[in-house]
Structure 1
Amino acid sequence: MSIFSRTRDIMAANLTELLDRAEDPSRMIRMVILEMEETLVEVRASAARSIADAKEMRRAMVRLEGITDSWTEKAELALSKGREDLAKAALIERQKASDMAKGLEAEVAVIDNTLKAYEADIAKLQGKLREARSRQNAISTRIESAVTRAKAREMLNGSRTEDAFSRFELLERRADFAEGRAEALGMTGPKSLEEEIADLRAEEQVDKELEALKARLANKGE
C-alpha cells in the first residue's frame, strides 16, 4: 500500500510524526525511502520527457521561421510580377506558419516553467530522501545498540553465566583441596612411641656397624 499519493505529499510529510505512528519504524522508514526513490525516478523521467519535447518544439520553430521567410519571398516575387492574388495567398500561408510558431513558443514557455517546477521538486525530494536515509541510519544504530544491550543483560542475568560461575567455584574448590593435600603431605608431626623405639634400634645397629668397622681397620694397622 502506498504511503504517499503525490510528490507534494512526500515534501509535506513529517517523517517524525509518521515514524511515531508506525508499529514498526524500521520497516516504515524502508518503505518511505523506497517510495521516495521511485517518485524521484518518475519525476526525473517526466522532466527528461519535457526537455525532449521542448527541444523538438524549438527545432520546429526554427523550421517554421524558415517557412515564414520563404513565404515572404514568394509573396514579394508574386507582387513584383503583378500577381497580387498569389502574393495574398503567400501571405496567408506565411501567417499560418507564424501562428504555428507562436503557438509552439507558448508551449515551450509552459514547458520551461514546468521544468523549473520539476527542478524545485527534485531538489526537495532529494532533501527529504537524505533526511529519510539519515533517520534510517539513526534507527538502525538504535536497534543495533538495543540488541547489543539486551544480549549483554541476558548474558549477565542468564543461566549460562550462572552455570559458568558455578563451574569456576567448583574448580576453585578442587584446587583448594589439591593444595591442602600437598601441604598435608609435607607436614611432620610428633613421633609415636613405636617410631622412637624403632629409631633407637636403628641407631644402635648403626653404632655396632661403626665399632666393627673401627676394629677391622685397627687389625689391618697391626
Structure 2
Amino acid sequence: MGIFSRLTDIVNSNINSILDRAEDPEKIIRMVIQEMEDTLVEVRSSAAKSIADQKDVERRLKKLDKAQADWEKKAELAISKGRDDLAKGALIEKAKVADMAAHLQEELSQLAEALTRNEEDVVKLEAKLREARAKKATIQARHKTASAQVRVKKNLYDGRIQDAFDRFDKVDARLDRIEAEAEAMDLGKTQTLAEEIAGLEADDDIEKELEALKAKASSGANDNKAAPKKKAASK
C-alpha cells in the first residue's frame, strides 16, 4: 500500500512529519519517492492524453468550420437559382454543423483547463520530489555517519580490548609488588664504617689501575713514533 492515496495528498504532504513518525525513515523516504515518481508518470500520461484529445478536437472543429462555409455557399447558390426551399434546407444543415461545433468548442475549453491543471500538478509534484530526494540524501548521510560512529564505539568498547588492558593492569600490579619487595629488603640497611673505608680503598685501587693503563698507552705511542727514525739511520 502506498504512502499517499491521492495527488492532493502528495502536494499537501509534510515530508518531515511523515519521517518523524516512521520507524525506518530511510525505508519510508524511498517509498515516498517511488510513489511520487509513479504519480508523476501518471500525471504526465494524463497530460499527454489531454494534448492528443485537444489536437483531435481542433482538427474536427476545422472540418466543421469548412462544412458550415460549404452549406452557406450551397444556400447562396440555391437562392440564386430561385430555390428557396433548397436554400432553407442548406441553412438547416449549417445550423446543425454549427451546433456540433459549439459542443466541440466547449470540449476544447475543458481540455485546455485540464491541461493547465496537469501542468500545475507536474510543477508541484516535481517540487515535492526534489524535496523528498534532498531528504533522502540527508538521511543517507546521517545514517552513514551514525554507522561509522557505532563501529568506532564498538571497537573502543570491545570486550577483548578491555580484557587486554585488564591484563596490563595485572602485570603492572605484579611488577609493583616485586619492586616493593626489593625496596623493602633495603629498608633499614646502612653501611658500616669498615664497608665505607673498603669502598674508598677500592676507589683508590681503580684510580691507580686507570693511571697505569694511561701511562702504558702513552709509552707505546712514543715507541711507535721513534722506530722509523732508527731505521733510516742504519741505511
Q: Structure 2 length normalisation: TM-score?
A: 0.68
Tell me the equivalent position of 1:96. Answer: 96
Counterpart CA distance in 2 for 1:97 and 1:31 is 52
Q: String of CA shifts for 1:104-150, please: whole Å, max 9, x gaps.
A: 11111111111111111100000000000100111111111110000
Tell me the equivalent position of 1:52. Answer: 52
Root-mean-square deviation (Å): 1.8
Tell me the equivalent position of 1:32. Answer: 32
Deviates more, 1:147-156 or 1:157-166: 157-166
Shift of 1:101: 1.2
Secondary structure (helix, strand or coil) at the match of 2:118 reads helix
Shift of 1:158: 0.7
Shift of 1:73: 0.5
Tell me the equivalent position of 2:73. Answer: 73
Tell me the equivalent position of 1:117. Answer: 117
Give the aligned residue type for 1:41.
Answer: V
Q: String of CA shifts for 1:83-111, please: whole Å, max 9, x gaps.
A: 11111110011111111111111111111
Give the aligned residue type for 2:144.
Answer: E
Counterpart CA distance in 2 for 1:125 and 1:90 is 52
Secondary structure (helix, strand or coil) at the match of 2:3 reads coil
Counterpart CA distance in 1 for 2:154 and 2:18 is 32
Q: Any residues of structure 2 matched to 1:165-204 within 5 Å, and which? A: none
Counterpart CA distance in 2 for 1:88 and 1:38 is 56
Q: Count the aligned residue pairs.
A: 169
Secondary structure (helix, strand or coil) at the match of 2:89 reads helix
Q: Structure 1 length normalisation: TM-score?
A: 0.72
Tell me the equivalent position of 2:83. Answer: 83
Tell me the equivalent position of 1:129. Answer: 129
Tell me the equivalent position of 1:152. Answer: 152
Secondary structure (helix, strand or coil) at the match of 1:147 reads helix
Q: Which runs of 4+ in 1 moved over 4 A?
A: 162-167
Tell me the equivalent position of 1:176. Answer: none
Secondary structure (helix, strand or coil) at the match of 1:3 reads coil
Tell me the equivalent position of 1:2. Answer: 2
Counterpart CA distance in 2 for 1:82 and 1:146 is 95
Tell me the equivalent position of 1:198. Answer: none
Counterpart CA distance in 2 for 1:7 and 1:163 is 59
Counterpart CA distance in 2 for 1:92 and 1:122 is 45
Counterpart CA distance in 1 for 2:164 and 2:71 is 101
Give the aligned residue type for 2:156.
Answer: L
Tell me the equivalent position of 2:63. Answer: 63
| Shift in alpha-carbon separation, 1:143–1:81, aligned structure 2, 3 A | same
Whether 1:108 and 2:108 are equivalent positions in the alignment is: yes
5+ residue gaps, structure 2, are 173-235
Shift of 1:9: 0.7
Shift of 1:161: 3.8
Secondary structure (helix, strand or coil) at the match of 2:82 reads coil
Counterpart CA distance in 2 for 1:112 and 1:17 is 36
Give the aligned residue type for 1:19.
Answer: L
